[in-house]
Amino acid sequence: MGIDLTGRTAFVSGSTQGIGLAIAQRLAEAGARVAVNGRTADRVAEGIDSLIGAGIPRDRLIDAPGDVTTDEGLAVALDATGDVDVLVNNLGIFGAASALEITDEEWQRYWDVNVMASVRLIRAVLPRMKEAGWGRILNIASDSAIVTPAEMIHYGVSKTALLAVSRGFAKDAAGTGVTVNSVIAGPTYTEGVQDFVYQLVDSALPWEEAEAEFMRLHRPQSLIQRLIRPEEIANMVVYLSSPLASATTGGALRVDGGYTDAILP
């Protein structure tokens, strides 16, 4: 199956590294113009340099710095992008914390970053998509949305909410040619996750041993028994962003390595 996103413009929040950067690369490889987003112009420039180094033509990349957790930053980033055909809400924060020690302020921060930033971006781009009769919105969720982790319940709750956000906006877009879906990403290797792993296992272990120990002790349900790679998440996002996925909406699609021990979603 050939995926051709030529003529489409994609905005990927938090796309200067990790899963977001991999998504930006795959979308650009499929022909889309991709807005690379981060909080500062310097971070965005670093991300774009990385993509150019991976062979992406410069004219397919848009500098779109701006903190999308604020109204001002969101407006600046979207103004730099122009009309958005594909929105990927990738921005998110996570971290281990004892359940009884998570403060009200931390609960609110996770809600603002992991949920409300996505809601605001959807509100900003969905009306034009509906008018155009075509659009794709993808919210990057997590296995933690289904299997709430004891070591970061605030994160899990925010990702559960994101599934409901996706389903609700899919209903709002019913019959318009716009699809809205969640991608449930399983335990995935990024620099941030590497730091998280070393919070939970012996920090003196070489990385390959630490990864194996983390999967054995903390993610034993994984059927692939390794961390997913960012490009594996990106492959699903590109498919869902394409015309080939025109009948898939309101869904929560898993790229979790079989981690979630359930048939649905």
pLDDT value, residue 5: 98
pLDDT in tens, 239-259: 999 999 999 999 999 999 999
How is residue 265 written in tokens? Answer: 């979603």
Looking at residue 196, its pLDDT comes to 86
pLDDT (tens digit, 9 = 90+) per residue, 1-36? 789 999 999 999 999 999 999 999 999 999 999 999
Domain boundaries, the chain: 9-187+229-255, 189-227
Task: Please compute, for residue 253, the number of CA atoms within 13 A of its CA located in the half-sphere on the CB side.
Answer: 20
What is the reported pLDDT for 24?
A: 98
Rounded to whole angstroms, the Cα distance separating 254 from 244 reads: 18
Q: Please list, residue by residue across 149-186, b when 16 or more beta carbons sit within 10 angstroms of its beta carbon and e when fewer do.
A: eebbbbbbbbbbbbbebbbebbeebeeeebbbbbbbbb
Q: Which residues are catalytic?
A: 155
DSSP sequence for 125-166: HHHHHHHHT-EEEEEEEEGGGTS--TT-HHHHHHHHHHHHHH
| Segments of the chain scoring below 70 in pLDDT | 265
- The confidence score (pLDDT) of residue 109 equals 98
**Burial of 80 by CB count in 10 Å (0-12 exposed, 13-18 middle, 19+ buried)?**
middle
**Among candidate residues 250, 245, 42, 97, the one with its CA nearest the CA of residue 164:** 250
Task: Considering the domain delimited by 9-187+229-255, tell me its CATH architecture.
Answer: 3-Layer(aba) Sandwich (3.40)
